[in-house]
C-alpha cells in the first residue's frame, strides 16, 4: 500500500514508518522537522518537508493519492497548548482539516489518527476509562485532539471516509525526546544519564498508563487492515505511579541516585488509565511489552547501546 | 553504589565531577596535590562520609587500598599561564600520571576515563574539528608541553585498551567555563569577568572579531556521565559549537555584570590562537548528548561565583 505518515520524523511516527517499510509498504513522510529529527528518518521513505497546515501539503496528498493517511504530525506539548492555544489549533485542527479535505479529494481509503486517551477524557470517572467515557479535555491540546476525532466522524458520515482514531495512553520508548514537556520516562532517563537528580512532582503517587512505542506501532500496523471505524484506546489498562517508573529506570541504569520530591503541580491529573478491550476485539491487539522490559530497552537506547 | 577516583579532583572540572558522583549517591576518592587545584573547591564535600581526599602527586606511584569502579584522570595544569610556568610537571602528569592511573585501573579492573583536550588538534588546519582529525601540533613550541603530554596520554590509554583490554574512554574537552574557575586563570572568561567586576577596562585584542566558543561546566559533566555509561573507546569531543566574537562576548559580560567598564583594544599578539570549534556530531550520535545551558544562564552563575570570591578577598 501507499501510505503517508505525517510526523514521520518524530518519536512515534518514525517508529511506525520503520514498521510499514518492513512490511514492504511505500511510505511518504510529511514532516516540517520543527520537532521531528532528521536522524529518525528512514532512508527508504520519501521525505516531503512540509507544514501540514500549508496548501502544499494538500496538493501533495492529491498528487500522491495514497491508500492510507496515518496522521501523527501535531503540536504535542500540553503546556504549550495552554500558553498558545491559537497555535495549537492552527496545527492540530486547521492543519488536520487541510489534510482531510485533500484526503477526501484524493480518494484515500482510510485515515489513522493519533489521538490521546489521557488528554481527551480529562479527569476520569471510571478506571480504566473505556472509549465511551465522557470526554472533558482539560487543555487546548485535549480539545484539539478531540476536535480531530469529531472531524473524522464528520468526514466519515458525509463522505464515507473510513478512519481509526487511536487514543494512546502515555507512550514511551526509543526516540522520545527529553526536550520540552515530553514524557517522564525520557526526562528522567536523560537526567539520570547526565548524572543529575530528577525531581518528582509531589508525592509521585500520581498514576499513568505507560505503553511501549513498539506496541503502539503494532496497533498502527493492525489498523491498516481492520474494518473498524471509530475510536480505540491503545493502552495497557495498568496504572503505574511515577515513583515506580523512577525505580525501574534507576535499576536499568545501575545508578545509586535518589529522586527529589518537589511541589505537586497544580491541576495535574491524579490518575489516568484506559481500557484496551476494544483494541483486543477489533484490532486483535494487546500490549505485549512488560513495563520493566520496555524501560530496559528504552534506557539501552538512550545509552547508545542499541545505536541510533 | 560505585566508587570513583578522580585525580585533579580539587581542580575546576574535577571538583564538579566529585560533586556529581556524590550527588548520585556514590563514593568518591579525590586525589590532588593542590598544584593548580584548591582546597576551597572541595571544602563542602569534606564533611560527606562518602568523600575522601588524598593529598598526592599523581606522577608518583599510586596506592589505593579499596576497590575502584571508575578512575577519571583529570590532574594536569590546563591553562596556558600554568603550563608555561610548570612545563615539566605538565609533561610528567600527562605521561607518568597517565601511566600510573592506567596501571591502577588495570589492577582494579576499573573503567578508565582520560581527560584529553581540544589542544591535541593544535593549530588546526580543518574546521570544525572531528575526532578523526590528527591535529597540527608543534612538539617543541611552548604549548607543546601540554599538547604533546595529552597526545602521549591518549596513545598510552589506547595502548592499555588494545594490549590489556582495559575498559577506557577518552574525552577531548573544549573551552569550558563556570564556577570554581580560578580568578587569575588567564583565560578570556575569567579575565573579562574580573575586569568587569573591578570596573577596569576589558582588554580586547585586535578588533575583537576573532571567534570563540565556550561550554558551561554542567554540560561537560553531563557529557562525561554519559560517556562513562557508553561503551565507546575512541576519543569523543565534548564542547559547545556555538561561536561568538570576542567583542560580542565582552559586551555580554559588561551587560550581565552591570559594569561601567569600557572596552580597550590592543594589538593582536602573533600567537593568538586560530579558532577551535568542536564538531560534536559523534557525541550527539553515540551519547545522545548536546549542550543545554544557554550562555547567559551559565555566565550569570559564573559571575555570581566570581563576585562572591572577590568579596571574600576584600573582607
Catalogue all structural domains in chain A, each as residue range(s) with its CATH number: 2-169+211-234+275-287 (3.40.50.720)
pLDDT at residue A243, as a whole number: 96
pLDDT at residue A254, as a whole number: 80
pLDDT tens, position by position, A205-230: 999 999 999 999 999 999 999 999 99
Tell me if B300 is assigned to some domain: yes
State how beta strands B243-245 and B211-213 pair.
antiparallel
Give the ipTM of the model, two decimals please. 0.76
Identify the domain containing residue B254 by its residue range: 180-213+243-274+294-314
State how beta strands B111-117 and B70-73 pair.
parallel
What are the chain B neighbours of A304 within 8 Å (beta carbons)?
Answer: 230-232, 285-288
Percent of chain A with pLDDT over 90: 88
Residue B130 sits in the same domain as residue B222: yes
pLDDT tens, position by position, A120-142: 999 999 999 999 999 999 999 99
Tell me if B289 is assigned to some domain: no
pLDDT at residue A240, as a whole number: 97
pLDDT band at B123 (very low <50, low <70, confident <90, very high): confident
Residue B139 has pLDDT above 50, yes or no: yes
Average pLDDT value for residue range B232-250: 95
Residue B37 sits in the same domain as residue B149: yes
Tell me if B287 is assigned to some domain: no
Residue B234 sits in the same domain as residue B259: no
Note the pTM of the prediction, 2 decimals. Answer: 0.84
Contact A196 B222 (CB under 8 A): yes
Chains A and B form CB pairs within 8 A to the count of 53
**Mean pLDDT of the residues in chain B:** 94
> Sign (positive/negative) of CA torsion B61, B62, B65, B69?
negative
The secondary structure of chain B as a DSSP string is: --EEEEETTTSHHHHHHHHHHHHTT-EEEEEE--SS--HHHHGGGTT-TTEEEEE--TTS-----S--SEEEE--S--SHHHHHHSHHHHHHIIIIIHHHHHHHHHHHT-EEEEEEEGGGGBS-SSSSBPTT---B--TTSTTHHHHHHHHHHHHHHHHHHHHH---EEEEEE--EE-TT--TT--SHHHHHHHHHHTTPPEEEETTS--EEE-EEHHHHHHHHHHHHHS---S-EEE----EEEHHHHHHHHHHHHT----EEEEPPPTTPPPP--B--HHHHHHH-----S-HHHHHHHHHHHHHHHHHHHH-
Among A274-283, B269-278, B306-315, the range of highest mean pLDDT: A274-283
Contact B25 A304 (CB under 8 A): no
Residue B224 sits in the same domain as residue B265: no
CATH of the domain at B299: 3.90.25.10
Residue pair B238/B280 in contact by the 8 Å Cβ criterion: yes
Residue B274 has pLDDT above 80, yes or no: no
Residue A282 has pLDDT above 80, yes or no: yes
**Mean pLDDT of the residues in chain A:** 94
Catalytic residue among A141, A163, A172, A302: A141
Residue B252 sits in the same domain as residue B234: no
Residue A85 has pLDDT above 70, yes or no: yes
Residue B21 sits in the same domain as residue B45: yes
CATH of the domain at B163: 3.40.50.720
Residue B84 sits in the same domain as residue B205: no
Residue B146 sits in the same domain as residue B21: yes
Contact A256 B288 (CB under 8 A): no
Strands (E), chain A: 2-6, 26-30, 46-48, 68-71, 110-116, 163-168, 170-172, 199-201, 207-208, 210-212, 230-234, 240-241, 260-262
What are the chain B neighbours of A195 within 8 Å (beta carbons)?
Answer: 20-21, 23-24, 221-222, 224-225
| Cα–Cα distance for residue pair B211/B245, rounded to 1 Å | 4
Residue B308 sits in the same domain as residue B172: no
pLDDT at residue B270, as a whole number: 64
Average pLDDT value for residue range B92-117: 98
Residue B197 sits in the same domain as residue B229: no
Domain count of the fold of chain B: 2
Whether A255 contacts chain B with CB within 8 A: yes
Amino acid at each position: 500500500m501507499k501510505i503517508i505518515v505525517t510526523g514521520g520524523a518524530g518519536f512515534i511516527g518514525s517508529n511506525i514508518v520503520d514498521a510499514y517499510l518492513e512490511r514492504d509498504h511505500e511510505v511518504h513522510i510529511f514532516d516540517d522537522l520543527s520537532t521531528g529529527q532528521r536522524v529518525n528518518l528512514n532512508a527508504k521513505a520519501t521525505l516531503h518537508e512540509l507544514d501540514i497546515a500549508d496548501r502544499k501539503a494538500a496538493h501533495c496528498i492529491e498528487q500522491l493519492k495514497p491508500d492510507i493517511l496515518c496522521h501523527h504530525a501535531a503540536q504535542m506539548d500540553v503546556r504549550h497548548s495552554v500558553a498558545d492555544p491559537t497555535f495549537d489549533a492552527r496545527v492540530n485542527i486547521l492543519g488536520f482539516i487541510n489534510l482531510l479535505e485533500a484526503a477526501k479529494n484524493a480518494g484515500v481509503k482510510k485515515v489513522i489518527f493519533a489521538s490521546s486517551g489521557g488528554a481527551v477524557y480529562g479527569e476520569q470517572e471510571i478506571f480504566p476509562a473505556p472509549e465511551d467515557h465522557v470526554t472533558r479535555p482539560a487543555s487546548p491540546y485535549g480539545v484539539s485532539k478531540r476536535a480531530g476525532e469529531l472531524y473524522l466522524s464528520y468526514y466519515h458520515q458525509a463522505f464515507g471516509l473510513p478512519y481509526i482514531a487511536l487514543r494512546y495512553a502515555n507512550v514511551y520508548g526509543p526516540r522520545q525526546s527529553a526536550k520540552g514537556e515530553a514524557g517522564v520516562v525520557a526526562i528522567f532517563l536523560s537526567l539520570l544519564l547526565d548524572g543529575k537528580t530528577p525531581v518528582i512532582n509531589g508525592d509521585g503517587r500520581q498514576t499513568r498508563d505507560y505503553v511501549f512505542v513498539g506496541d503502539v506501532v503494532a496497533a498502527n500496523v493492525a489498523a491498516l487492515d481492520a474494518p473498524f471505524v471509530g475510536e480505540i484506546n491503545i493502552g495497557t489498562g495498568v496504572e503505574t505511579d511515577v515513583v515506580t517508573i523512577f525505580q525501574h529506570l534507576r535499576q536499568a541504569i545501575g545508578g545509586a541516585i535518589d529522586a527529589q520530591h518537589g511541589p505537586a503541580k497544580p491541576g495535574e491529573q491524579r490518575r489516568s488509565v484506559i481500557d484496551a478491550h476494544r483494541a483486543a476485539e477489533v484490532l486483535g491487539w494487546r500490549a505485549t511489552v512488560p513495563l520493566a522490559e520496555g524501560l530496559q530497552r528504552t534506557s539501552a537506547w538512550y545509552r547508545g547501546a542499541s545505536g541510533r | 553504589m560505585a566508587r570513583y577516583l578522580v585525580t585533579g579532583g580539587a581542580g575546576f572540572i574535577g571538583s564538579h565531577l566529585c560533586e556529581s558522583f556524590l550527588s548520585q549517591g556514590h563514593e568518591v576518592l579525590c586525589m590532588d596535590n593542590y598544584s593548580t587545584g584548591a582546597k576551597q573547591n572541595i571544602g563542602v564535600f569534606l564533611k560527606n562520609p562518602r568523600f575522601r581526599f588524598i593529598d598526592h602527586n599523581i606522577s608518583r606511584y599510586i596506592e589505593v587500598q579499596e576497590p575502584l569502579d571508575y578512575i577519571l584522570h583529570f590532574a594536569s595544569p590546563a591553562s596556558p599561564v600554568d603550563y608555561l610556568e610548570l612545563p615539566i610537571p605538565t609533561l610528567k602528569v600527562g605521561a607518568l600520571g597517565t601511566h600510573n592511573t592506567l596501571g591502577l585501573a588495570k589492577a582494579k579492573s576499573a573503567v578508565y576515563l582520560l581527560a584529553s583536550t581540544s589542544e591535541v588538534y593544535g593549530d588546526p588546519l580543518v574546521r570544525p574539528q572531528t575526532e578523526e582529525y590528527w591535529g597540527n601540533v608543534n612538539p617543541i613550541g611552548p604549548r607543546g608541553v601540554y599538547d604533546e603530554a595529552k597526545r602521549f596520554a591518549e596513545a598510552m590509554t589506547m595502548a592499555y585498551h588494545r594490549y590489556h583490554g582495559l575498559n577506557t574512554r577518552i574525552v577531548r574537552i573544549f573551552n569550558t567555563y563556570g564556577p570554581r574557575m580560578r580568578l587569575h586563570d588567564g583565560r578570556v572568561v575569567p579575565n573579562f569577568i574580573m575586569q568587569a567586576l573591578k570596573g577596569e577596562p576589558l582588554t580586547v585584542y585586535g578588533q575583537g572579531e576573532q571567534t570563540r566558543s565556550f561550554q558551561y561546566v554542567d554540560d561537560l559533566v553531563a557529557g562525561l556521565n554519559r560517556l562513562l555509561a557508553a561503551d565507546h573507546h575512541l576519543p569523543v569531543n565534548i564542547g559547545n559549537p556555538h561561536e561568538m566574537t570576542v567583542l560580542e562576548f565582552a559586551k555580554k559580560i559588561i551587560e550581565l555584570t552591570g559594569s561601567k567598564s569600557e572596552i580597550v583594544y590592543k594589538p593582536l599578539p602573533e600567537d593568538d590562537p586560530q579558532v577551535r570549534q568542536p564538531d560534536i556530531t559523534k557525541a550527539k550520535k553515540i551519547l545522545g548528548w548536546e549542550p543545554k545551558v544557554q550562555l547567559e544562564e551559565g555566565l550569570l552563575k559564573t559571575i555570581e561565583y566570581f563576585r562572591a570570591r572577590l568579596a571574600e578577598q576584600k573582607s
